Amino acid sequence: MQTRPLGSTGFDIAPLVLGGNVFGWTVNEAESFRLLDAFVDAGLNAIDTADSYSTWVPGNHGGESETIIGNWLARDPSKRERVVIITKVGSDMGQGRTDLSEKWILDEVEASLRRLQVEAIDVYLSHWPDPGTPHAETLGAYQKLLDQGKIRSIGASNLDAAQLAEALKVADDEGLPRYRVLQPGYNLLERKTLEGPLLDLCRAENLGVITYFSLAKGFLSGKYRSEADLGKSPRGGGVKDYLTPRGFAILGALDQVATRTGARPAEIALAWIAAQPGVTAPIASATTPEQVASLARAAELSLSPEDIEILDKASA
């Protein structure tokens, strides 16, 4: 499978990143192992997680996803050389706020390393903006971790164009490490967050871009066509707002391209993201081996200019 440079991180990844948010939430450890094995066997190689996955589940405290990934790696250490591990820091883990302070980062990286059972995290992301911590303090903490070999590259999630530009300027002015990757929300339904100044900045600065919410909470799979369909999944209630004329037009465009290509709507929606100039890869999760196989097909799918035009027009 052809890979792409992840900005200037030094890593090349397949054009589909596996979302680890479901591990320890809707997928138990044994099932997660099967999914991870299938993912690597399909030629895919980047896994995204976070220290806070999955604090929203009753009885969980965060770290469940990292722990499962670490146990999977420990079971077969040869897999470590075949995957790029992306994790995040800065979410509220009980301290009552988003936190990118030096103390929190230096403490929390140790917990993530321990759970992941690795010597170094490949790409370490600031999960959320922290208005109470200067960029220089955050980037200075990352400098220490880079110098210690505990992380290999850094990035950020959920920054807007102004916030990202400020962080890059501080890095340049003060000789601190630069963010190399951005992780924004982006999909056919929700394009404005990334498109425009933010994506232009990422292109100009050679940042890798990996997108989350790539399937709009599953709506772009095509399985939600009416309110009666919302009960098909525990996450169905989250897509009710997409049941609009524009949402149905996008599903219609996906169906049209599916008829021509033989691909599934979800595969087409992911391939559309991967085809956007400046985007490295979408992130998508899976709960069955069959869904992993579908992700692998999406990574190999090449849409024609006509297909992209159909999707662009419906989602504009």
pLDDT digits (tens, 9 = 90+) for 47-86: 999 999 999 999 999 999 999 999 999 999 999 999 999 9
Give the structural domain span for 137.
Answer: 4-217+265-304
β pairing state of 4-5 and 12-13: antiparallel
In a domain, 255, yes or no: no
What residues are paired with 85 via a beta bridge?
47
How high is the pLDDT of residue 229? Answer: 87
How high is the pLDDT of residue 235? Answer: 67
Structure tokens at 60: 């969980």
Domain of residue 53, CATH code = 3.20.20.100
Residues in contact with 172: Cβ distance below 8 Å, sequence separation at least 6, in sequence order = 178
Q: What percent of the chain has pLDDT over 70?
A: 99
The arithmetic mean of pLDDT across residues 94-106, rounded, is 96
- DSSP letters for 200-223: HHHHHTT-EEEEBSTTGGGGGGT-
How far apart are the C-alpha atoms of 141 and 101, rounded to whole Å?
A: 8
Query: Domain tally for the chain?
Result: 1
Give the CA angle between residues 22, 26, 29 to the nearest 5°.
75
Residues in contact with 281: Cβ distance below 8 Å, sequence separation at least 6, in sequence order = 4, 13, 14, 15, 16, 17, 46, 210, 211, 273, 274, 299
How far apart are the C-alpha atoms of 182 and 200, rounded to whole Å?
A: 12
Q: Are 182 and 164 in contact (CB under 8 A)?
A: yes
In a domain, 309, yes or no: no
How high is the pLDDT of residue 232? Answer: 74
In a domain, 225, yes or no: no
In a domain, 203, yes or no: yes
In a domain, 158, yes or no: yes
Q: Are 198 and 208 in contact (CB under 8 A)?
A: no
Q: Is the pTM of this model over 0.75?
A: yes
In a domain, 200, yes or no: yes
In a domain, 228, yes or no: no
How high is the pLDDT of residue 228? Answer: 86
- Active-site residue list: 53
C-alpha closest to that of 52 among 27, 17, 87? 87
**18-22, 114-118, 183-187, 221-225: least confident range:** 221-225
SS (H, E, C) 54-82: CCCCCCCCCCHHHHHHHHHHHHCHHHHHH
CA dist list (Å): 283 to 25, 47, 239, 263: 17, 9, 18, 18
C-alpha closest to that of 45 among 86, 77, 89, 75? 86
In a domain, 312, yes or no: no
β pairing state of 84-89 and 281-284: unpaired
pLDDT digits (tens, 9 = 90+) for 149-187: 999 999 999 999 999 999 999 999 999 999 999 999 999
How far apart are the C-alpha atoms of 78 and 166, rounded to whole Å?
A: 40
Q: Are 197 and 210 in contact (CB under 8 A)?
A: no
- Secondary-structure breakdown of the chain: helix, strand, coil percentages, each rounded to the nearest 5: 50, 15, 40
Residues in contact with 79: Cβ distance below 8 Å, sequence separation at least 6, in sequence order = 36, 40, 72, 73
How far apart are the C-alpha atoms of 307 and 80, rounded to whole Å?
A: 37
C-alpha closest to that of 18 among 2, 89, 268, 41? 41
